[in-house]
Amino acid sequence: IGVNSVVTINKGAVYGGLAATRGRAIPAAQLTPKKHTVSKIQKNKGVEEALLKEIKSWVAVSSLTEVN
């Protein structure tokens, strides 16, 4: 998974990043089969996370599945 990858968010995923929402569950409406585009990848608090364009939020790369 890298920048511009199209991904889905796996069940049980939580918000990442450094905002107050970190650790909160991502709403079911945003999970698979809804697709998102990765706009940036970086480590936040030691976790590799992807910034998703459509929801403007960070999600752990381990909680994403790349789709084609």
pLDDT of residue 59: 98
Rounded to whole angstroms, the Cα distance separating 38 from 6 reads 7
**pLDDT band at 68, cuts 50/70/90?**
confident
pLDDT of residue 52: 98
pLDDT of residue 65: 98
- Paired strand residues for 64: 9
